Amino acid sequence: MLLIKLLITLVVTTFAANPSTFPTVEVVGNKFFYTNNGSQFYLRGIAYQQDTSEVRSDSEEVIHFVDPLSDPKVCKRDIPYLKELNTNVLRVYALDVNSDHDECMKALQDADIYVIADLSAPNVSIITDHPTWDLELYKRYTSVIDTMAKYENLLGFFAGNEVITDSTNTECAAFVKAAVRDMKRYIADSGYRKIPVGYSANDDADTRVASADYFSCGELDERADFYENRRVFQFDYPCIFL
């Protein structure tokens, strides 16, 4: 009897400790790895978002966008095509934190597709010409983290998208790096798993290497975990990682 009880306890705790076998992905050093077996994870990414410029805008203050992971009909329609392209990562540029993402994230997980989500939105982002890192941005960024951190196929977050555009505005990099530091801290303090936080650069020949160096220097808890360059992402080469 005791043995059976013990066995049952063992079985229950085994399942409780391991509710899913879907492997999360982490950054160690300058590469991505599966956490289940330590194999390197190579990204084959697709940018997945309707262009916001095509979406109706009522006024300059309110920029509408379509959350690409909020409509299960749409994401489920697209998954077979994404699989056909051998995609294993989607990048989504703007999420609505009030939408439900469960169904699309589950469908993507079932298809072994991970997601990298931008923390900003078209109307709440670090602006090149007058950069800030303030409470409004902090709230937007942390709300996206709170919405997405629970998904095992969430691969990472971008703390900035093409904020530095050329050698005349590199000072805005400091604001993005502050965002990276604070979001890594927020993820740790909230008890979420170690989700990578990165920066997404434009393809400016004068600044791309220097900005990669800038985002990769410093202590582990303040530097970016990965660095994406528009050109390499678009052309489906492996991204540059820090």
Ligand X SMILES: *[C@@H]1O[C@H](CO)[C@@H](O)[C@H](O)[C@H]1NC(C)=O
User: Which residues here bind ligand X, judged by CB under 6 A?
Assistant: 23, 34, 36-37, 39, 61-62, 64-65, 121, 123-124
**114 with 89: CB under 8 angstroms?**
yes
Residue 23: name the closest of 31, 15, 14, 32 by CA.
32
Closest distance of CB 37 from ligand X, Å:
4
CA 165 – CA 69 distance, rounded (Å): 28
Nearer to ligand X, 121 or 145 (CB): 121
- Judged by CB, which is closer to ligand X: 101, or 223? 101
Other CB atoms within a 10 A radius of the CB of residue 88 amount to 21
Planar angle of CA 191, 23, 50, nearest 5 degrees: 85
Specify the residue, 30 or 36, whose C-beta has the smaller distance to ligand X.
36
Minimum distance, C-beta of residue 61 to ligand X, in the bound complex (Å): 6
Closest approach of ligand X to the CB of residue 38, in Å? 8
Minimum distance from residue 236 beta carbon to ligand X (Å):
19
Q: Whose CA is closest to 198, among 187, 183, 210?
A: 183
Best CA proximity match to 116, nearest among 237, 242, 235, 233: 233
To the nearest whole angstrom, how small is the minimum distance from the Cβ of residue 124 to ligand X?
5
Shorter beta-carbon distance to ligand X: residue 109 or 165: 109
Segments of 147-196 assigned E as strands:
154-161
The smaller minimum CB distance to ligand X, of residues 1 and 62, is found at 62
Q: Which is nearer to ligand X, 58 or 129 (CB)?
A: 58
Residue 66 sits at the vertex; the CA angle it makes with 109 and 125, to the nearest 5 degrees, is 95
Q: Which is nearer to ligand X, 17 or 62 (CB)?
A: 62
Report, in Å, the least distance between residue 41 CB and ligand X: 8
Residue by residue, what is the 3-state secondary structure of 73-116? HHHHHHHHHHHHCCCCEEEECCCCCCCCCHHHHHHHHHCCCEEE
**C-beta of 140: minimal distance to ligand X in Å?**
8
